[in-house]
Amino acid sequence: MMILYSYWRSLAAYRVRIALHIKGIPYEVKSMDLIQGDQFNIDYRKINPQMVVPTLVDGENILTQSMAILEYIEELHPNPCLLPNDPIGRSRVRAISLISVADTHPLVIPRIRKYITQNLAHDEATLETWISNWLSKGLEAIEENLDRSKETGTYCHGDSVTFADICVVPQFGAARLFGINTEPYPRIANIFDTCMKIPAFFDSRPQVQPDFPKET
């Protein structure tokens, strides 16, 4: 069985959980507490020298970077298909995905947060402004893309789930959890609500992960 190194709050691991679920691939979760610093353990570093999650272990193969993992899963199990048939469509789906994966998410991960508060000595309020600014900017760009394109359908691209939904939904969920005003993003909100009716999205969400903090 595949092993997924994951963390309940990780948007990148969330993307992979959704894709594995959609493709019906069973996997075992190994939880990494990124706040406690599990990612820096020497044994994990041997598996993932970047010291981040997710890492997917498929037999002898170790896969890293959520987008690269999504592509791997897609090639291994083409059905149901998570990319459009045409090159322009695939390019659009990857572009929407990367607004989140490459241009938004890296700005709000734990090591960046830590750098802002510890190395640059900014307070929590400044950190919150930082996070909220970048999450919002990403959503703004995605909303405008969705609004302008005739390819936008029930989902980000057409009427079936693609990588784009798998990348946008976790970011939108994080923005809501973070208390950001999401009213300016009605198209994303609709897609989010539609996706949440799909077990692959609903059952992969942070709040139902085994390592989600229990209330004391």
Binding stretches for ligand GSH (CB under 6 A): 10-12, 34, 39, 52-54, 65-67, 101, 109-111
Instruction: Specify the residue, 92 or 105, whose C-beta has the smaller distance to ligand GSH.
Output: 105
Please give the backbone phi and psi of residue 49, each rounded to the nearest 5 degrees, phi first.
Answer: -60, -20
Q: Which of 191, 198, 174, 173 is nearest to 21 (CA)?
A: 198
Nearest approach, Cβ of residue 97 and ligand GSH (Å):
10
Phi and psi torsions of 110, nearest 5°: -50, -45
Strand positions, DSSP E, the chain: 2-6, 27-31, 55-58, 61-64
| In the complex, least distance from residue 202 CB atom to ligand GSH, rounded to whole angstroms | 20
What is the nearest approach in angstroms of ligand GSH to the Cβ of residue 100? 9
Least spacing, CB of residue 150 vs ligand GSH, in Å: 29
Measured from the CB atom, the residue of 152 and 204 that comes closer to ligand GSH is 204
Are 44 and 92 in contact, with CB atoms under 8 Å apart?
no
CA-to-CA distance for 51 and 45, rounded, in angstroms? Answer: 6
Nearer to ligand GSH, 10 or 136 (CB): 10
Please, which residue, 124 or 193, has the CB nearer to ligand GSH? 124
